[in-house]
Amino acid sequence: MKKIFTATAATALAAIGAASALVAGPADIPLIIEGEEMIARAPAPDYIDGVDTIYSGWLFRSEETQALEVDDFENPAMPAVDYGLELWETADGSEGKSCASCHGDISEMAGVRTVMPKVNENGELWAMEEYINDCRVNRMGAEPWKRTKSPEMLGMTAAIGLQSRGMPMNVAIDGPAAPFWEQGRELYYTRVGQLDMSCANCHEDNYGNMIRADHLSQGQINGFPTYRLKWGGLGSIHRRFKGCMKNIRAEPYKPGGPEFTALELYVASRGNGLSVETPAVRN
Amino acid sequence: MKRSLIAAVAVCVGTSIGPGTASAGTIAPADVRIVDMMVAESLTGVLGDPANGRKVFANRKKGNCLACHANSDMSEMLFHGEVGPPLDGVAERYDEAFLRALLVNSKAVFEGTIMPAFYVDSATLNRVLPKFQGKTILTAQEVEDVLAYLMTLK
Q: Tell me what pLDDT residue A7 has.
A: 36
Residue A6 pLDDT greater than 50, yes or no? no
What are the backbone angles phi and psi of residue B103, rounded to the nearest 5°?
Answer: -70, -40
Q: Is B126 within 8 Å of B39 (Cβ atoms)?
A: no
Q: Tell me what pLDDT residue A119 has.
A: 98
A92: number of Cβ within 10 Å: 16
Query: In this complex, is the C-beta atom of A250 within 8 Å of any C-beta atom belonging to chain B?
Result: yes
**A148-152 — which CB contacts under 8 Å span 24+ positions?**
A148/A236, A148/A238, A148/A239, A148/A255, A148/A256, A149/A236, A149/A239, A151/A80, A151/A83, A152/A83, A152/A87
Q: Which of B72, B73, B129 has its CB closest to that of A194?
A: B129
CA–CA min distance A243, chain B (Å): 12
ipTM of the complex: 0.89
Question: Helix axis angle, B2-16 relative to B96-104, nearest 10°?
Answer: 70
Q: Is A196 within 8 Å of B117 (Cβ atoms)?
A: yes
Which helix or strand (DSSP H or E) is residue A235 part of? strand A233-235
CA–CA min distance A244, chain B (Å): 13
Helical H segments across chain B, by residue range: 2-16, 50-58, 90-93, 96-104, 140-150
CB spacing of A193 vs B86 below 8 angstroms = no
Better pLDDT: B141 or B16: B141
Give the range of the structural domain holding residue B134, as residue numbers without chain letter: 31-150
Q: Tell me what pLDDT residue B24 has.
A: 62
Residue B52 pLDDT greater than 50, yes or no? yes
CB spacing of A18 vs B70 below 8 angstroms = yes
Residue A3 pLDDT greater than 90, yes or no? no
- The residue type at B91: A
Q: Whole-prediction pTM value?
A: 0.90
CA–CA min distance A54, chain B (Å): 19
Ramachandran bin of B91, using left for φ above 0, alpha for ψ from -120 to 50, beta for the remaining angles: alpha
Residue B97 pLDDT greater than 90, yes or no? yes
Q: Tell me what pLDDT residue A25 has.
A: 85
Q: How far from A11 is each of A16, A166, A257, B68, B85, CA to CA, in Å?
A: 9, 36, 45, 19, 21
Q: Is A87 within 8 Å of A99 (Cβ atoms)?
A: yes
Average the pLDDT over A87-107 and give the result: 97
Q: Tell me what pLDDT residue A142 has.
A: 98
What are the backbone angles phi and psi of residue B101, rounded to the nearest 5°?
Answer: -60, -40
Q: Tell me what pLDDT residue A113 has.
A: 98
pLDDT, tens digit, for every residue of B105-130?
Answer: 999 999 999 999 999 999 999 999 99
Residue A187 pLDDT greater than 50, yes or no? yes
- Number of compact structural domains in chain B: 1
CB spacing of B68 vs A202 below 8 angstroms = no
Better pLDDT: A47 or A20: A47
Residue A31 pLDDT greater than 60, yes or no? yes
Q: Tell me what pLDDT residue A219 has.
A: 98
CB spacing of B78 vs A195 below 8 angstroms = no
> What CATH number does residue B46 fall under?
1.10.760.10
Better pLDDT: A44 or B6: A44
What CATH number was assigned to the domain covering residues A78-162? 1.10.760.10
Average the pLDDT over B16-41 and give the result: 77
Q: What percent of chain B has pLDDT above 90?
A: 84
Residues of A in contact with B77 (CB under 8 A): 17
pLDDT, tens digit, for every residue of A242-271?
Answer: 999 999 999 999 999 999 999 999 999 999
**Cα dihedral value A161, A165, A168, A171, nearest 10:** 0
Query: In this complex, is the C-beta atom of B1 within 8 Å of any C-beta atom belonging to chain A?
Result: no
- Does residue B3 lie in a domain region? no
How far apart (Å, rounded) are the C-alpha atoms in residues A39 and A245? 28
- Does residue B101 lie in a domain region? yes
What CATH number was assigned to the domain covering residues A2-74+166-282? 1.10.760.10
Q: Tell me what pLDDT residue A149 has.
A: 86
How far apart (Å, rounded) are the C-alpha atoms in residues A264 and B141? 41
Active site residue A99: no
Q: Tell me what pLDDT residue A12 has.
A: 37
Tell me if residue B107 falls in helix, strand or coil.
helix
pLDDT, tens digit, for every residue of A121-170?
Answer: 999 999 999 999 999 999 999 999 999 889 999 999 999 999 999 999 99
Sheet containing A233-235: which strands, arranged edge to edge? A233-235, A226-228, A281-282
Average the pLDDT over A214-229 and give the result: 98
Residue B19 pLDDT greater than 60, yes or no? no
Q: Which of B70, B82, B116 has its CB closest to that of A196?
A: B116
Q: Tell me what pLDDT residue A255 has.
A: 96
How far apart (Å, rounded) are the C-alpha atoms in residues B74 and A11? 15
Under 8 Å CB-to-CB from A152, ≥6 apart: which residues? A83, A87, A145, A146
- Does residue B55 lie in a domain region? yes
Q: What value does the mean pLDDT of chain A take?
A: 92
Q: In which residue ranges of chain A is CATH 1.10.760.10 found? A: 2-74+166-282, 78-162
Better pLDDT: A220 or A14: A220
Q: How far from A81 is each of A6, A66, A158, CA to CA, in Å?
A: 33, 19, 6
Under 8 Å CB-to-CB from B85, ≥6 apart: which residues? B69
- Band (pLDDT 50/70/90 cuts) for residue B26 is very high
- Does residue B1 lie in a domain region? no
- Does residue B116 lie in a domain region? yes
Q: Tell me what pLDDT residue A32 has.
A: 98
